[in-house]
Amino acid sequence: MASVLVVEDDQFVRSALIRHLTDASHTVRSVGTALEALREVAHFRFDVVILDLGLPDLDGAEALKMLRGITDVPVIIATARDDETEIVRLLNDGADDYLTKPFSVEHLSARMAAVLRRAGAGGGGEAAVSSVLRVGGLAIDPLRRQASLDGATLDLTRREFDLLAFLAGRPGVVVPRKELLAEVWQQSYGDDQTIDVHLSWLRRKLGETAAKPRYLHTLRGVGVKLEPPR
């Protein structure tokens, strides 16, 4: 059971989400504006926030940035927008996942479960390894959740760090996308775009591109590997 904040101004959609989440034994609070959402997270502890983008008082993208300024609660974006550039920006601004409307309650449940498992893992699993992982100029400390490149600290989102640390634990090994979804996103299925978006932003922070990779190498139709520059 999780404590969920639903931020949605459409009363019909809002009621449907509340009914579904309550039936699934979650504790639900709901608001219809961004400012109300900020007040809620400032006064109550939530396990996950489901955030609509088309809010009447403030665009959800701006609300996300403000939420990230006061809490690290996992945020799932619920949006009718499917523009890849905007999705990339939202993930980079701190969203943990996104769903494009319309979506089924089963799809929402699967995404919520994955986000909650990941957030609940805390310092367990891969992050429990105390030794620093080193690949070329990269240094990844899973216990402290810190990463650096050539001595400079990398400013990574939680999911970017998880992806980098997972690959760094298997240097030179081509990891299938299906395994990345299962181990990093805790999903048995999903859209390859989710991986591609995070790889794209991770590459930028490592100072490389898909056309000219240094650390992250994608093998089309196979998977991804992390290895030091030659």
Note the pLDDT tens digit of each residue in 15-25: 989 998 888 88
Whether residue 144 sits in one domain with residue 113? no
Q: DSSP secondary structure string, 51-102?
A: EES--SSS-HHHHHHHHHHH----EEEEES---HHHHHHHHHTT--EEEESS
Q: What is the CATH number of the domain that holds 64?
A: 3.40.50.2300
pLDDT digits (tens, 9 = 90+) for 43-100: 888 889 999 988 999 888 888 988 888 888 899 998 887 787 888 888 888 898 888 8
Whether residue 205 sits in one domain with residue 96? no
Q: Which domain holds residue 64?
A: 3-121
Domain closes at, from 121, 143, 164? 121
pLDDT of 216 over the 70 cut:
yes
What band does 34 get if pLDDT is binned at 50, 70 and 90? Answer: very high
pLDDT digits (tens, 9 = 90+) for 187-215: 766 667 888 889 999 999 999 999 999 99
Determine phi and psi for 140, rounding to 5 degrees.
-120, 120
pLDDT digits (tens, 9 = 90+) for 170-185: 888 898 988 888 888 8
Mean pLDDT of 10-17: 89
Q: What is the CATH number of the domain that holds 185?
A: 1.10.10.10
User: Counting Cβ atoms within 10 Å, is residue 224 exposed (0-12), middle (13-18) or buried (19+)?
Assistant: buried
Supply the pTM of this predicted model: 0.55
